[in-house]
Amino acid sequence: MIYIQLFLGFMYIGVLAFGGGYAALPLIQQTCVEQNGWLSMTEFSDLLTISQITPGPIAINSASFVGMKAAGFAGSVVASLGFMLPPFIIVSVLYLLFKKYGQLSFMQDILSGLKPGVTALIAVAGVDVLAEALWGQSAVTLAGTDLFCAVLALLAFLTLRKTRLGALKTIICCGILGVAYHAVEVFVL
């Protein structure tokens, strides 16, 4: 039964994940955290970190991670296949349509109209993950804000926007700073 749930859950995500892996994040959160309880919000936040630093698309990595946690190796394979099947079919059909009709202004209008919606999907997931990092499961209050995480998130944001360090190196640097901060916190404070 869990295999069918994983396959259908990730097939649903695959059908609706227009805009790439980051646009799938709210769907992954809704399916895996809120609807099925395969992950807690903290585990979802960890999943995003792990999926970002491992090779491959973030949505496929997420499917593999969730499937492995929920049902072992077979669950990982089933969830990944469930996610990959719809986009494979959709992209194949869209390729044929775009090849034939892509030069029409109507097609260009559709594509330009999709961009704001995809941007909103990514922003929603980003806000949820940021809230988890800064407040965890607590109420959102200034006093309850994890200031170290807030400063680190701001530094990472600025680094990604203003330098060519790249996502992987920025995440590794944040990890190192997190270990150093908590080591100082444990041993000094």
Q: Per-residue confidence of the chain (189 residues) as pLDDT tens digits?
A: 999 999 999 999 998 887 677 778 889 999 999 999 999 989 998 888 888 788 888 889 999 999 999 999 999 999 999 999 998 998 899 888 888 887 778 877 887 888 888 788 788 878 888 888 899 878 888 888 999 999 999 999 999 999 999 888 998 999 999 999 999 988 876
Model confidence over 23-39: pLDDT tens digits? 788 899 999 999 999 99
147-175 burial by CB neighbour count: b if 16+ within 10 A, else e? eebeebbeebeebeeeeeeeeeebeeebe
pTM of the model: 0.64
> What's the pLDDT at 158?
96
Cα–Cα distance for residue pair 30/128, rounded to 1 Å: 11
> What's the pLDDT at 103?
77
Cα–Cα distance for residue pair 62/47, rounded to 1 Å: 7
